[in-house]
Structures are given as C-alpha cells and as structure tokens.
C-alpha cells in the first residue's frame, strides 16, 4: 500500500498534488512519500514480531538519498552499505555506525579502514582474500573487526538474471563447500572476529522457496561451524523480498509470509538475525514524475514521448522492468501506446503496446513504484543533468536533491593544456 492517490481528479503524494511539485520543481523528478516509507518499516517490523531483536539494516543501494536515509534513521533502522560512499551517506543521515553492515565483493583497503575507524557493526566478507586484507588493515589500526562470511548457497532465486546473486557461478560469496575452511582461516587471522554467517540470493524475489532453501543451508553451516569450535552469534539473511509492480500479476509474498518462513527456518539457531531489506521499504514509496513532450504517430501504436529518459530510470532498459504508468490527471479514457524517452537509443523505451490512461502533450505522467533503484541509478547520458528528488510529508514537501545544471557537467570536464 502507498500514499499516492487520486483526489479531486489529481494524483497526490499524501496531501500534496503532484501538479504542484511539477510546476514548482519541474520534471522529470522523483517524489517520495514519508508516510509510505514509515508504513513499510512498520509492516516489515511487524512481520518480524516473532523474532527476538532483529537488526534491520536498510540496503542503502536501493535509495541513498539523505532525506530518505534520515527518515529511516529516525525510524530506528540501520544500514547495509556496499561502498565507502554509502557508508558516509548513512553516517551523514544519522545512522549509528554500530547498526551498519558493510557488504560487497570488492571492498578496498581504504573502505575497510573507513569502516573500522567508524566502528561499524559487521563486515560481510565474500572471500578469504578479502579476510586477509581486512586482517592487515585492522591490525595496522590496532582494531578488531566483527565479520561474517557471505556464503554462496548455489540457489537460483528465480528472478531476473542480472539481479540473481546466489547461483554457484555468480560472483558473490564463498563457495558453500569451502565455507568451513574459510572460517578456520579467518579464526587464525589477527584483527578478525568471525562470528557471523551471511547470505543474499537476489532481488525482487516473488517466491519464498529459494530463500527458504538458502536459509536452510545457512542453518546447516551454523551447526557445522559450531561443531568445529566457532562461536556464531549473527546470521544475516540479506534482502530481496519483491514488491508488486504490476497490479495485473499475483503479488509477491507479503512481509508477513516472509517473516513466518524466517521464524520457522531459523527456530533454534540462537543467533541475532540481520535483515537487509531495500526495495520492500522504499519501492512503492516513490514515483517518477514526468511530462509528455509530445505524442508521436507510430506504425501500430502512438509513441508517448516523455521528458524522462532511460538515464533517469534505468530499470526498464536494464532489467526489462515493468512500471505502472499513470496519468496524474486521468480523464477516464485509455489508449494503447508505446512510452519512450528522448534518449537516442531504442533501449530508451519504458513500455511497448501498453494500455494506459490517455494522455497528450503537456500532461503529467507518474511512473509508479520508482522509489527503489530509481534515482540512484540515474546518470547523465545524452548530457542530461542528474534528475532531482523531492519528499513529501503530509501537506509539506521539499526538494531533497537539486536538478543538476548542465553547467555543472560542462565545468566537470577539464581541457588538457594543449587545447
Ligand atoms: N543486501 C545485499 C547484499 C544486496 O546485494 C541487495 C540488493 O541486491 C540487498 C541487500 C537489497 O535487496 P532488495 O532491495 O531486493 O531488498
């Protein structure tokens, strides 16, 4: 459920008409709803009510805007970060270091040092080589790192291939059969306290069976590690729970179903569970607001050319992602159209032969469920400034990331001395 509703003929974000935001801040722009974010946190927490003291670390990659992170910090969430930049953003938004987990397959020594100096809660390591580097960095600083190994459970999450992370040949995690040896090695290394196990099999998961299979493998491993003399106190079950993008297809499992499955699988593990939800917290809490530049005649269907491009919302071209596309002021008519952006690539197509609200030049259109992996993946292709972001809370709203002026792009390029 979200707080984007048509009231008096106009789509509102909570108490604010999207027409007002478009007029005052321009388009394209992302608009987030605080009430929706807060609701999703509440629903996720309630789903984990049967689990003692869960550590919920929002996956910053899904939406790193400081206002969004500060909203989540206020709600008591921690953060799952995958770079020094995300770590600094989480800290700048007020997320305590102790609630931060540092994931990612390619942490550098500098990023490790940053995490250690900040005093983050846990490093999720993805290889023995990474453990050796972290050991060196930690000992050079005279610090000890709490670490988990992310294991690769060899489970196909059944999602889009580019966001599947738990198959044996994916780049993530330690080969399952070599995990016990990895913990033995980590236990010998100074500056490391290997007390956790982590797993994450992918994103936009619409079936709980693969997650259950992966978590069961974690349970078996915890028992094996304890039998080998290791003290295991945390298990990080990653993120991945899908969100409903298309109202016409069955909804993914609910957070409550997910929580019940987790409670069932992890009964008796005797660890603190860590969760890294991203999409399920912010996905439905954001829309991308764009204006129709023109409707161009096509051979079969008209092309609705909007002022947002694949550089502003990459998911459709990268993952064939489906976003519901709605008129901000629907007139009750529908038509079948192709929705495209202005970028010079055929890949800049948001939807083909889509039945949607009938729109014409100048109308505003909202791409629903754009709060996760939306603005954060935006880029400046075709020399388009980075897309701005706004957040609404009740009757109030504010721009929380300015539109990048083209002058900033030009100034960032430097001419060599010979030109
Ligand atoms: N944790 C890790 C390690 C990830 O790579 C991701 C994203 O794929 C997430 C958490 C968040 O996933 P989602 O946004 O699907 O919940």
Dist. CA 99 → ligand 1 center (Å) = 16
| Alpha carbon distances (Å) from 95 to 45, 121, 183 | 17, 12, 29
Lowest mean pLDDT among 67-81, 98-112, 159-173: 159-173
Q: What is the mean pLDDT of residues 324-353?
A: 97
Phi, psi values for residue 4, rounded to 5°: -110, 105
State residue 164's pLDDT score: 82
User: For residue 198, which atom of ligand 1 is closest to its CA?
Assistant: 3
Q: Are 224 and 187 in contact (CB under 8 A)?
A: no
In sign, the C-alpha dihedral spanning 361, 363, 368, 371 is: positive
109-165 pLDDT per residue, tens: 999 999 999 999 999 999 999 999 999 999 999 999 999 999 999 888 888 888 788
Question: Rounded distance, CA 380 to CA 386, Å?
Answer: 6
Question: Rounded distance, CA 213 to CA 40, Å?
Answer: 26
User: For residue 276, which atom of ligand 1 is closest to its CA?
Assistant: 10
Structure tokens at 166: 């738990």
Question: Would you say residue 169 has pLDDT above 90?
Answer: no
User: For residue 82, which atom of ligand 1 is closest to its CA?
Assistant: 3
Q: What confidence tier does 254 reach under pLDDT thresholds 50, 70, 90?
A: very high
User: For residue 373, which atom of ligand 1 is closest to its CA?
Assistant: 14
State residue 159's pLDDT score: 82
- Ligand 1 site-directed mutation target among 200, 202, 242, 319, most atoms within 8 Å of CB: 200
Question: Rounded distance, CA 121 to CA 99, Å?
Answer: 6
The residues annotated with a catalytic role in the active site are: 344
State residue 163's pLDDT score: 79
Secondary structure class of 295 (helix, strand, coil): strand
State residue 47's pLDDT score: 98
State residue 278's pLDDT score: 98
Q: Tell me which DSSP letter residue 268 carries.
A: T
With residue 274 as reference, give the H or E element that holds it: strand 272-275
Dist. CA 278 → ligand 1 center (Å) = 6
Q: Are 152 and 182 in contact (CB under 8 A)?
A: no
State residue 398's pLDDT score: 98
* Summary mean pLDDT of the chain: 97
Secondary structure class of 288 (helix, strand, coil): strand
Domains of the chain (ranges; CATH) run 4-32+283-412 (2.40.37.10), 34-281 (3.20.20.10)
Question: Rounded distance, CA 222 to CA 405, Å?
Answer: 52
Question: Would you say residue 166 has pLDDT above 90?
Answer: no
318, burial (CB in 10 Å: exposed 0-12, middle 13-18, buried 19+)? middle
Q: Tell me which DSSP letter residue 392 carries.
A: E
- Share of residues in the chain with pLDDT > 90 (%): 94
State residue 155's pLDDT score: 85
- The residue whose CA has the least distance to atom 8 of ligand 1 is 203
- The residue whose CA has the least distance to atom 10 of ligand 1 is 239
Question: Would you say residue 167 has pLDDT above 90?
Answer: no
Dist. CA 240 → ligand 1 center (Å) = 5
Those residues with Cβ within 8 angstroms of residue 384's Cβ, 6 or more apart along the chain or in another chain? 309, 311, 312, 343
Dist. CA 224 → ligand 1 center (Å) = 26
Among candidate residues 55, 52, 51, 41, the one with its CA nearest the CA of residue 264: 51
Could you tell me how many residues make up the chain? 419
State residue 410's pLDDT score: 97
Q: What is the DSSP string of 325-389?
A: EEESS--S-EEEEEEE-SSSSTT-EEEEEEEEE---TT-EEEESS-SSSSGGG---TTT-PPPPE
Phi, psi values for residue 11, rounded to 5°: -70, 130
State residue 165's pLDDT score: 85
Question: Rounded distance, CA 236 to CA 275, Å?
Answer: 6
Secondary structure class of 312 (helix, strand, coil): coil
272-287 pLDDT per residue, tens: 999 999 999 999 999 9
In sign, the C-alpha dihedral spanning 20, 22, 24, 25 is: positive
From start to end of 70-208, where are the E strands?
78-81, 100-102, 122-125, 145-152, 174-175, 192-198
One-letter-per-residue 3-state SS of 13-48: ECCEEHHHHHHHHCCCEEEEEHHHHHHHHHHHHHHC
- Share of residues in the chain with pLDDT > 70 (%): 100
Ligand 1 site residues (CB inside 6 A) read 59, 61-62, 80, 103, 200, 203, 238-241, 276-280, 372
Q: What confidence tier does 220 reach under pLDDT thresholds 50, 70, 90?
A: very high
pTM: 0.97
Structure tokens at 135: 């050991």
Dist. CA 132 → ligand 1 center (Å) = 25
State residue 158's pLDDT score: 83
Q: Which residue in this structure is represented by tokens 């999720």?
A: 124
| Alpha carbon distances (Å) from 264 to 65, 245, 268 | 35, 28, 9
**How many CA atoms, within 13 angstroms, populate the side-chain half-sphere of residue 144?**
9
183-215 pLDDT per residue, tens: 999 999 999 999 999 999 998 999 999 999 999
Q: What is the mean pLDDT of residues 169-194?
A: 95
Question: Would you say residue 393 has pLDDT above 90?
Answer: yes
CA 298 from chain centre, in angstroms, equals 35
């Amino acid at each position: 459920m979200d707080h984007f509703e048509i009231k008096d003929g106009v789509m509102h974000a909570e108490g604010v008409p999207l027409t007002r935001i478009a007029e005052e801040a321009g388009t394209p722009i992302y608009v987030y709803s605080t009430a929706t974010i807060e609701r999703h946190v509440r629903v996720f927490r309630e789903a984990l009510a049967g689990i003692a003291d869960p550590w919920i670390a929002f996956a910053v990659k899904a939406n790193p805007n400081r206002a969004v992170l500060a909203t989540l910090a206020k709600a008591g969430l921690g953060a799952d970060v995958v770079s020094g930049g995300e770590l600094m953003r989480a800290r700048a938004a007020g997320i305590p270091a102790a609630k931060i987990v540092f994931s990612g397959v390619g942490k550098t020594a500098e990023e490790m040092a940053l995490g250690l100096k900040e005093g983050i809660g846990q490093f999720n390591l993805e290889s023995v080589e990474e453990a050796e580097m972290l050991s060196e960095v930690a000992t050079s600083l005279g610090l000890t790192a709490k670490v988990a190994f992310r294991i690769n459970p060899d489970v196909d999450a059944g999602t889009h291939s580019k966001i599947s992370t738990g198959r044996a040949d994916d780049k993530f995690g330690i080969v399952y059969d070599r995990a016990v040896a990895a913990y033995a090695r980590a236990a010998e290394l100074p500056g490391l306290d290997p007390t956790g196990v982590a797993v994450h099999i992918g994103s936009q998961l619409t079936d709980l069976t693969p997650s259950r299979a992966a978590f069961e493998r974690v349970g078996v491993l915890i028992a094996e590690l304890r039998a080998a003399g290791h003290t295991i106190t945390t298990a990080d079950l990653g993120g991945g729970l899908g969100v409903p993008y298309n109202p016409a297809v069955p909804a993914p499992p609910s957070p409550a179903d997910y929580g019940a499955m987790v409670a069932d699988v992890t009964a008796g593990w005797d660890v603190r569970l860590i969760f890294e939800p991203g999409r399920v917290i912010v996905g439905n809490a954001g829309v991308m607001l764009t204006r129709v530049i023109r409707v161009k005649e096509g051979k079969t269907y008209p092309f609705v050319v909007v002022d947002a491009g694949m550089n502003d919302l990459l998911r459709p071209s990268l993952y064939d992602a489906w976003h519901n596309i709605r008129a901000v002021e629907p007139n009750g008519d529908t038509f079948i159209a192709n929705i495209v952006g202005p970028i010079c690539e055929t890949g800049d197509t948001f939807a083909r032969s889509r039945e949607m609200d009938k729109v014409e030049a100048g109308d505003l259109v909202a791409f629903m469920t754009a709060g996760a992996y939306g603005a954060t993946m935006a880029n400046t292709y075709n020399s388009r400034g980075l897309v701005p972001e706004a957040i609404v809370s009740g009757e109030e709203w504010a721009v929380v990331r300015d539109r990048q002026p083209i002058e900033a792009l030009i100034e960032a390029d430097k001419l060599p001395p010979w030109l």
